[in-house]
Chains A and B, each alone.
Chain A
Amino acid sequence: MKNISLLSKAGSFAQNKDIARDIRTQEIVPALERNEDIILDFKGVDSATQSFIHALISEILREYRGNVLEHISFKSCNEEIKQIINIVLDYMGE
Chain B
Amino acid sequence: MILSMVAALGLTLEPQNIKCAKLTAKSKNYISRMKLFETLRIPFNGGFIEHESSGRFIPLRVIQDTEEKTQLIKDIIPLLHLQSEPEQAKTISYILTELVDNVLEHACTPVGAIICAQYYQDSNCIRIGIADTGRGIKKAINQSHPASTHIDAIQLALWPGITGTTKREGGTDINAGAGLFFVKSIANVNRDFFVIYSGSALYKMLKKTTNPNGILTLNSDPFKDRHSKNNNLPFWKGTVVGIDITLDQTKEFLFLLQAIRKTYSKAVKERRKARYKAKFI
Contact = CB atoms under 8 A, between A and B. Distances in A.
A13 B254 CA distance: 15
A46 B170 CA distance: 25
A51 B179 contact: yes
Interface residues of B, number: 33
A37 B254 CA distance: 29
Interface in B55-75: 66, 69-70, 73
Given A51-B178, A87-B261, A16 B269 contact: no
B173 A58 contact: yes
Contact of B268 (A50, A62, A83, A91): A91
Chain A interface mostly: helix
B265 A83 contact: no
Interface string A5-46: 000000101011110110010000000000000000000001
Interface in B229-281: 253-254, 257-258, 260-261, 264-265, 268-269, 272
B265 A91 contact: yes
Given A83-B258, A87-B260, A94-B268, A17 B101 contact: yes
Contacts of A70: none
B254 A50 contact: no
Interface in A48-94: 49-51, 54-55, 58-59, 62, 79-80, 83-84, 86-88, 90-92, 94
Given A80-B254, A90-B264, A91-B161, A13 B178 contact: no
Contacts of B264: 87, 90-91
Given A80-B253, A90-B261, A91-B268, A17 B174 contact: yes
Contacts of A51: 97-98, 101, 174-176, 178-179
B170 A21 contact: no
Most buried by B among A20, A51, A80, A84: A51
Most buried by A among B69, B258, B265: B265
Nearest to B104: A17
Nearest to A61: B170
A87 B254 CA distance: 12
A10 to B, nearest CB: 10
B35 interface: no
A19 to B, nearest CB: 9
Contacts of B73: 13, 15
Given A83-B257, A87-B260, A90-B264, A54 B97 contact: no
Interface of A: 11, 13, 15-18, 20-21, 24, 46-47, 49-51, 54-55, 58-59, 62, 79-80, 83-84, 86-88, 90-92, 94
